[in-house]
Structure 1
Amino acid sequence: MTTLVLCVDRANDIGRKSGLSTPVVGWEAVRSLVTDVGLADPEDSSVNCLLEALRVTRELRDEREDAEVAVISGASETTVGADRAVARQLDELVELYDVESAVVVTDSAEDERLVPVIESRLRVDAVDRVVVRQAHDIESTYYLLKQFLADEELRSTVLVPVGVGLLLVPLLLVQFEPAVAMAGVAALLGAVLLYKGLAIDEFLSDVPEQVRDSLYSGQVSVVTYAVAAGLAIVGLFIGALEVQTPSIGGDELFVPSLLFVYHSVPWLALSALTASAGRLLDELIGSERISTSYMNLPFGVIAIGLVVRGVAGFLLERQGELSQLELLGWVRLSPTQRLAMFIFAGIVISLVGARISATVSDETLEDVVESRRQNES
């Protein structure tokens, strides 16, 4: 069995400069080819690729392995024609020699694209990339940029936002201070990167189809989602009304933020509860079994809303923004008691939800087991 040390030249630089047709097989033939290519163009990296193929062949033979060196190239004007030419030459070598595996020697990223073609016919044990030492950094950077610019998705994701940002810089500098202009450009670029990084574009592209399917199938969640959106807007609006215009400073910003959270959380929790209730109804209507996560969600929403409102109320009462909480009109609670009551209520509701979900899932499991027993009988 022979190991074929294969020097690959996709662009046919070797054949064009030496005037020879490939494949070129054998130690003496390849060594003579090195002289021809080197005299034609001493600066061509193909010379180093041929020498590396000879060096690898010598090392394999020194290790008592049966190795043969060969050169194949893509003698065609088109990329597809070049790849098919390489495939034909490789088929000739496999037919003429008892080849078991191959070691591929290349001098560029373009040549490495032929590795799958070779792997479809031979087992490739190694790929040896030859880069001229003096130009290592330059060539690596060049091929990295070439691959980057060849990727359409990367171009649209990175180059387009950067180009838009650079165009906006002089326009913003004319109207605003440099700090404001740079902050605006940075915010724009950050928003674009988050938009692509979080796959918001994919989510938005699927929304119309999902809404159409939901409307055609008569799902209750379509209505509840619309109601939930309205409640969320109401909550944000009410929270904003409670916030006074803050002045610059940590304390002046902290208290209005707590007021916003305290007054908007009930409406936001009601919005989430409405949306989860609609999803739960869809599960009840469309399936005989209810997922545990859908059962837990309403209770989890209520529990989180109580805890967040309790923490915000505790801090606001300590700041003197809220009066003491009264129960049944005569029991006054201290800030600590208020916080403890809300946290306790949230824990109790979450435990009740977990218990109900476990009970429902157990009953569903028993029904499934019973139906299987009936089917088997």
Structure 2
Amino acid sequence: MAASNKKRILVIAVDRDNDLFEKAKVAGPVIGRKANLDAAMKLAVADPEESDSNTMFEAIKMYDEVSAEGEAEIVTLTGDRRLGYAADKQIGEQLYRVLSEFQVERCIIVTDGASDEQVLPIIQSRLKIESVKTVVVKQAAQLERTYFVILEKLKEPYYRSLFFGLPALILIMFAISGWMGYGWQPVSFVVGLYLIIKMLDVDESLISMYRNFFSFSVERISLIIYIAAFIFIVMSFWLAREVYIQQVLLGGDPLKIAAAALKGLLLLLPWGIMVLIAGKAIDLMHERRRYELARYGMYLISIVLCWVVLNVASDWILARASFKDLVYTVIVSVLAAILSIEGMRYARKQIAAGMNLENKEVLDTIGNYVGKTIGVDRRRGVMIVQTQFGHKIDIEIDNIRKIGERVTIKT
């Protein structure tokens, strides 16, 4: 974008659930008045009841008013139909692309409700927000009833899967568990675990971790490794189940039965996890993401140490090892873990110091803009970042998640 085309204020319409693409097949970001008008008309034709088209029309109206007083630009940012982290990350990346083309100082946000307004911190981390406009669509009185709102929400994939998909999955699990003779306990365990994960609000983090760890592709040798790891893990649980059933039939102390089952589990489970880590390491080397290798090396060491401690603990319960052996193993494992952590930290610092980190954009894991890198202080183990307000902050290298065209740090 030429220097003469620099813009001073940005009018932003937000479509967090990406209805613009899902219904009108228009991908974001949508930049410019004409492009936004065309996209809004396509969305209104595709779904006349969709409120996001009204949001875009309001943004165009706001743009016309602002541009009459000075230089301005309009853009519609779209998220993801799954909402949550996926939507926020997509909006953050689109905003980054827009700001790389237009030098703006201020912005006006136009949304259609509380869901879209959840992205305000992401935008506020990079621009000064002058105004937030919430579009309320006027409706007839009979359409304002609760059942109409619920029916409209159930048309959206996220809410449809929540209200219909989850109960359906639970019913299917009950049926399968009944056919296999396990009763209701396994299903209750899975549902309870899911509710705890939702209560702790870590479901999006777990999904993101899963997607970052597994990047399946038939063109990669790691796919074969992941399949082998899956076989190891499944077989380990099968072995543990067989040992448990055998020990129950023989009778005895429940604690010793549990220890024997744990020994059966540990025969193959650690190998399966280590094979998974090896597959991920191959992917990282192929993608030249050397910095992240140290973290997975730490995972590998942790798996080995846990394996050793749990094995000795099981042997002690089964009277195959003395308490002295258990204490000695725990002490050595803790010391080894401390040394490994320090060694991995040193390796990460050396790798980061050897990389070109100057003048890179720094974002957190949900897309908030932090600033630009100035350099790395190897002695203190920190990366020096300059914020958009000119302040310098130190970020510990341990908090760096990824290093590529941009640097991603832990939130």
Output the TM-score relative to the length of structure 1. 0.43
Output the TM-score relative to the length of structure 2. 0.40
Q: Which has the higher helix share?
A: 1
Q: Which has the higher strand share?
A: 2
